[in-house]
Chain A
Amino acid sequence: KAGVTQTPRYLIKTRGQQVTLSCSPISGHRSVSWYQQTPGQGLQFLFEYFSETQRNKGNFPGRFSGRQFSNSRSEMNVSTLELGDSALYLCASSLSDSISGANVLTFGAGSRLTVL
């Protein structure tokens, strides 16, 4: 069973540019969430999508956006990049059995973004 796949693994951008990161969840997983990891702020929740709808959003500016497609694949976009956006962006998927509440997130290997 394939795991969570994130592309690209590494990318370098300059300030003011925009970037799109992709995440393919484990087959059958309908929930996809995104996290930003930096040395200073640690791991912070960005947003979560389920059945193409954003269910939860963290405290990030509107430059950070995402979407989910009908096949559960998700993309996140960061516009007008700033130096502080340099981070490891992690995607996680889960079955999201909200009735039982038993949720285990499986993470991808991450996309390392460097903003120059």
Chain B
Amino acid sequence: AQTVTQSQPEMSVQEAETVTLSCTYDTSENNYYLFWYKQPPSRQMILVIRQEAYKQQNATENRFSVNFQKAAKSFSLKISDSQLGDTAMYFCAFMKWGAQKLVFGQGTRLTINP
């Protein structure tokens, strides 16, 4: 069974700063996907970024980028030039290739202060 661990329950940074959220996972699978989802107070779960395990290049989406270390089973999210709208719960999630089941971490509550 796969497990996902987010070791930072809460984080707080100032607007425009860079922040990194940590995630580690455990799996015996070789083909899989990793995701970061954000859940603002509105509760809508929104995809932030996705990484395919077979790709060595780290995924990037505008201000969001990941540091994917497959051997270490680590998948951290970096948010650059943080904005007030980035305030949300951030969930790291694992999906086995070909499956439709996400395994989520416990989440990190991120607050961006003005």
When chains A and B are docked, how far (Å) is the Cα of A43 from the Cα of B90?
Answer: 12
CB of B102 closer than 8 Å to a CB of A: yes
- B16 interface contact, C-beta 8 A: no
Within 8 Å CB of B28, what residues of A?
Answer: none
Set of chain A residues within 8 Å of B97, measured between Cβ atoms: 101
A105–B95 Cα distance when bound, in Å, is: 10
Shortest CB-to-CB span from A56 to chain B, Å, is: 5
* Cβ-defined contact, B45 with A107, below 8 A: yes
Give the distance in Å from the alpha carbon of A72 to the alpha carbon of B37 in the complex. 24
How many residues does chain B have at the interface if contact means C-beta atoms less than 8 Å apart?
A: 25
Q: Does A96 contact B (CB under 8 A)?
A: yes
Taking residues whose C-beta sits less than 8 angstroms from the other chain, chain A's interface range is 20 to 34
Interface of A is mostly: strand
- The answer, yes or no, to whether A86 is at the interface (CB within 8 Å) is no
Whole-angstrom distance between the Cβ of A66 and the nearest chain B Cβ = 13
The listed residue (A42, A45, A112) touching B101 by CB distance below 8 A is: A45
Whether the Cβ atoms of B101 and A104 lie closer than 8 Å is: no
In this complex, which of A43, A55, A58, A109 has the most chain B Cβ atoms within 10 angstroms of its Cβ? A43
A42: B residues at CB distance < 8 A: 104-107
Q: Which of B35, B43, B91 contacts A88 (CB 8 A)?
A: B43
Can you name 10 extra interface pairs (CB under 8 A) apart from A31-B100, A33-B100, A48-B100? A43-B107, A94-B100, A101-B31, A101-B33, A101-B98, A102-B52, A103-B99, A104-B47, A107-B45, A107-B46
Residues of B whose CB lies within 8 Å of any CB of A are: 31, 33, 35, 37, 42-47, 50, 52, 91, 95, 97-107
